[in-house]
Structure 1
Amino acid sequence: MKVRVDEDKCCGAGQCVLLAPEVFDQREDDGIVILLDAEPPEHVHATVREAAAVCPAAAIELSEGA
């Protein structure tokens, strides 16, 4: 899995950070997403998928496979 975030779309809701803090963080000044791990380990894939699904701004893009 590869993860991309679009900072321009991000509204700073923070749902991704709550679900997958090992993959996402937020900037202190405005809450915009920070991607910590663009290729997270398999054991967190389900939570990363959930984070992308619940993102109110659709700012998280996933690509599956090799």
Structure 2
Amino acid sequence: MQLGTRWPVGGAVPPRLPEELVARIREVEARLDPADAARMRWTLTWLEGRPVAELDDGTILRG
């Protein structure tokens, strides 16, 4: 596993992410309560060369 980066909900995603994963991230963000979203961040890791984005609430999206 390789650590990537962290970014806030609604913020700019890392440029290496596939567009499909970015779209899924935005779908999850659209369903969040704005008060909760303001405190949450995504963590990007790379597992066997594939991106894994995990939200602070435990939501995991794999690319």
Q: Same fold (TM over 0.5)?
A: no
Q: Which has the higher strand share?
A: 2
RCO comparison, higher one (Cα < 8 Å, 6+): 1
TM-score by length of 2: 0.29
